[in-house]
Structure 1
C-alpha cells in the first residue's frame, strides 16, 4: 500500500462491506451506508504483493467506475474542467471516467447517446490494444487532468491497463439501443448467484435495498434497469466495499450471473 488510508466509511450503491453480510435484511429498512472493518481495508484499498493481471484489470475497472472510492481519496469538489457546459451533471460525479465514457465504453455512440448522462464525448472502446504508457500520459494531460494526488502512477497504470486490455464488448451482453439484457444461461447464472452472490445479497437478492422515497431497489431491480452497469460491477467489483468479482472466470460467467439476477424480485 502506497498511501495512508483516509477513512473506512463509504456510501455505496451496490455490494456490501466485509463483515456485514447476513446482519440485516430488507425488512430492516434501507441500507445505503456501510462501514468496513480494518481487516477488510487491505482487500478493498490495498494491493497484493504479486498482483495477477486479473487483479490489475479489475482494480483498473474500479478506478474507471469511481476512483476516489476505489483508492480511498477525497472526491473532487469542482466540476471537471472538460465536462461540457450542456451536460446535466455537476460536481464530483463529472470526474468519474464512466460518466462521460459510459458503462459500455462507447460514450456518445452507446447507451449514453441520450438522456441525463449525454455529453457528446466519445467512448474509450477504440483504445482497446493501445499503448498503456500513452494512455496514462493522455490521462495526465489537460483534457483529463488527473493529478498524482488523485491517482498515483502505479494506480494510473492499472487504469491504463483496464482501458487497453480490460474492456469487454458490452453489446454481446446488453442491447445498446434498448438497454435490455441479451439473455445468457439462466441455470448457470442461478448456480453462480446461489453459491457466491447470495452470501451477501440473499437468495432472492433482497437482503439490501438501495431504494429511496419508498421505492425499492434490489439486485433484481438494478440488473433489469441498468444491466451494463451491473455487468461492470460483476466483472470488477464495486469501489470502496469488499465485493467479490468474477473477472477471473470471464465475461460469460458474469453475463449468466447478470441474466439470473434480472429475474429476481424487483
Structure 2
C-alpha cells in the first residue's frame, strides 16, 4: 500500500513539474507585435509612402520622389500579388517591364502560416541579399539586367520597426486567404500563363452580401455598382465586373481601402467578404 502511495505521489510531482515547466517555456509574442496595427499593415503592403500610411520618412522628399518614380520596385503587392501567391496566383501573367520587376515565385500565403511574428519581422528587416536604396533602378532591364532590381528592397533603410511590425500583423492576422473566397485554375507558366476564377463567394450568403453593399458601398457606387465609371482606370469597369474579374484584388481594396480616394478601410470579416462576393455574382443586380 505504501509503495502504491509513494508511486502516486511521485507521478503527481512529475506531472506538476512538467506542467509548470511547459507554461514557463511557452513562447510569448513580442509586445511590439501585439500592439501593432494590422490594418495599417495592409495599407503599407499596398503602398507604404501613401498619405493614408502616415509614412515615417514622408519628410524626405528625395526618397519619396524615388519611391513614386519606381513604385513597383518597392510595393509589396507588386512582387507578391494582392493574393500573396506571386507567380502561383493572379500574377502568373504579369510579366516584367523596364519599370517593374519580375513577380516572386514565393508563395507568401503559405510561408506566413509557418513562421512566427519574430521570424517574419527578421526576414523583412534582413539586409543581406537585399537591394540598397541607392541602387540605380533606371538601368533595370528584365532581359539583361534584372538580378539586383528583382531583389527585395532593403526595408531596414525604408521602414521603421513600428511599420515592419504592422506589416507582420497584417500578414499574420488581417490577410484574407483568397482560397476561402473563390476557386481558381492556372494554365501555362509565368509570365504568359492564365488564371480563371470560379465559385466566387463560395459559401457566402448573397442576401446578406447585398445588405452589406447597401450599408457600406451603395452611397458611392450606386445601387447597381455603376455610379463610379471606369473602376481600376479601365473603361467600362463596373463594381460587379471588377469583383468577378479581379477577385484577387477587390478583397484587399474593400478591407484596406483604395488609396488616394475617399474609399477608406472597412472592418470586414471573412464572412462579410464571402457574402459580398456571392452577391456580386448576380449580373442582374450588379451588371457589367
Task: Give the TM-score, by structure 1 length.
Answer: 0.65
Equivalence for 2:216: 196
Whether contact under 8 Å (2:36, 2:166) holds in the other structure is no
Residue 258 (structure 1) shift: 2.6
CA distance, structure 2, for counterparts of residue 173 and residue 212 of structure 1: 20
Equivalence for 2:12: none
Whether contact under 8 Å (1:219, 1:262) holds in the other structure is no
Any residues of structure 2 matched to 1:208-223 within 5 Å, and which? 208-210=228-230, 215-223=235-243
CA distance, structure 2, for counterparts of residue 214 and residue 105 of structure 1: 23
- The 1:224–1:164 alpha-carbon spacing in structure 2 relative to 1, beyond 3 Å, is same
Whether contact under 8 Å (1:101, 1:107) holds in the other structure is yes
Whether contact under 8 Å (1:111, 1:179) holds in the other structure is no
Q: Does 1:98 align with 2:77?
A: yes
CA distance, structure 1, for counterparts of residue 249 and residue 234 of structure 2: 23
Q: Does 1:71 align with 2:53?
A: yes
Higher relative contact order (CA 8 A, sep 6+): 1
Structure 2: 5+ residue runs without aligned partners?
1-33, 59-63, 97-101, 131-150, 186-195
Q: Does 1:170 align with 2:178?
A: yes
Task: Give the TM-score, by structure 2 length.
Answer: 0.60
Q: Does 1:228 align with 2:248?
A: yes
Q: Does 1:131 align with 2:92?
A: no
How many pairs does the alignment contain? 203
Equivalence for 2:162: 154
Residue 130 (structure 1) shift: 2.3
- The 1:162–1:221 alpha-carbon spacing in structure 2 relative to 1, beyond 3 Å, is same
Any residues of structure 2 matched to 1:1-266 within 5 Å, and which? 56-69=37-50, 70-72=52-54, 73=58, 74=64, 76-77=66-67, 91-116=70-95, 119-125=103-109, 126-128=111-113, 130-141=115-126, 142=130, 143-147=151-155, 150-177=158-185, 178-183=196-201, 184-210=204-230, 215-247=235-267, 249-263=268-282, 264-266=286-288
Larger radius of gyration: 2
CA distance, structure 2, for counterparts of residue 94 and residue 235 of structure 1: 24
- The 1:165–1:77 alpha-carbon spacing in structure 2 relative to 1, beyond 3 Å, is closer
Whether contact under 8 Å (1:128, 1:164) holds in the other structure is yes
Residue 92 (structure 1) shift: 1.4
Residue 54 (structure 1) shift: 11
- The 1:217–1:108 alpha-carbon spacing in structure 2 relative to 1, beyond 3 Å, is same
Residue 95 (structure 1) shift: 1.6
CA distance, structure 1, for counterparts of residue 37 and residue 112 of structure 2: 17
C-alpha RMSD of matched pairs (Å):
3.1
Structure having the larger proportion of residues in helix: 2
CA distance, structure 1, for counterparts of residue 271 and residue 84 of structure 2: 18
Whether contact under 8 Å (1:168, 1:251) holds in the other structure is yes
Structure 1: 5+ residue runs without aligned partners?
1-52, 80-90
